[in-house]
Structure 1
């Protein structure tokens, strides 16, 4: 086998491990990842799995990176071409709903980051730090869109971006629970009604 083919095969195997790790962790948490479980699920040896990551913590961090990429492809990238400000913010929110829907959801256990946040919010260490870092980046991205919308006169001038981000995060945390825990068939409709209030345009646009 040529070095180039060997490297490509190694990347494919690593990607398979990460994909399976993400699926497991979305249901059972990052601590639910075990080398033995992954080896069995993927038909590999434990040494084969360990050879790609070395430690469970490295595997957990790689799974977070992989989940972040999935979230970005599902929520941010489809909305990125929309005009910045309120239009893009609304597009992000709609793709965010689709991301959480069971029939279309990216993760079998619902929002990967909600699961990770609950699992690690009372702990210290690199995994918690990584979860916090990704969450803060997303909050900053939302806040930037809100500020743009305010500056453009699309949202009321007294809108507090950090407060609105806080409310949006709470809304989507509630949506995830309504879908995963209660299987509420009206959860998406309720979310859209709440968004209509939270993202109501400035009076000038309304007229």
Structure 2
């Protein structure tokens, strides 16, 4: 076996472990991940799984990273071409609602579930979850601030308040979908966002493109 093929196979195996781990953790929590279970479901040995991550905690952190990549692709990337400020904030919120409505993760918002699981448990995993929420709240706050500066939101609007309300609306949506299976919940969330941000103006066809910048969930 050539070294190049060996590396490619190792990366493929690691990716398969991560994808299965994300699916399990979404529905059962990060603590639901066990090396034995993954080995059995993937037809691997325990040592084979451990060889890619070394420990359960390292695996959990890698799963958070992978979930963050999925969140970014689903929620941030659709909003990136929109003009900074209110237009981008509206697109971002619609993508965020759609991500939950379509059940991208089997257990709803991956990071809301992780926050409930680890918010009272100090350690690297909790720190990683908190960092993603902080980064995402910062993204919402930044776009709200741009909207205020541009006169798209009333003067004196507190960007932190806007971010707080939008986070609350989407977390309520996640709760309504996961616990109550409420089919009206996505529309209620959209109405809440519209009440905060107003109705969008007619589409002009203009597209803004920012240089890439890091963002995390909840980039997650």
Identify whether the pair has TM-score above 0.5, normalized to the shorter chain: yes
Which residue is equivalent to 1:91?
91
- How far the C-alpha of 1:178 sits from its partner, in A, is 0.6
- In the other structure, the counterpart of 1:71 is 71
CA apart distance, 1:105: 2.1
The alignment yields a C-alpha RMSD, in angstroms, of: 0.9
CA distance in 1, matches of 2:119, 2:11: 32
Higher helix share: 1
Separation (CA, whole Å) in 2 of partners of 1:24 and 1:47: 20
Aligned to 1:60, the other structure's residue is in SS state helix
Q: Which residue of 1 aligns with 2:112?
A: 114
Matched, 1:150 2:148: yes
Q: Does 1:60 align with 2:76?
A: no
Deviation at 1:200, TM superposition (A): 2.4
Aligned length: 199
Q: More relative contact order in 1 or in 2 (CA 8 Å, sep 6+)?
A: 2
Runs of 4+ in 1 over 3 A off after TM superposition: none
Mean Cα displacement is larger for which, 67-76 or 154-163? 154-163
TM-score, structure 1 normalization: 0.94
Structure 1 unaligned regions, length at least 5: 202-207
- CA distance in 2 between counterparts of 1:42 and 1:106 reads 22
Unaligned 5+ runs, structure 2: 200-220
2:49 is the alignment partner of 1:49: yes
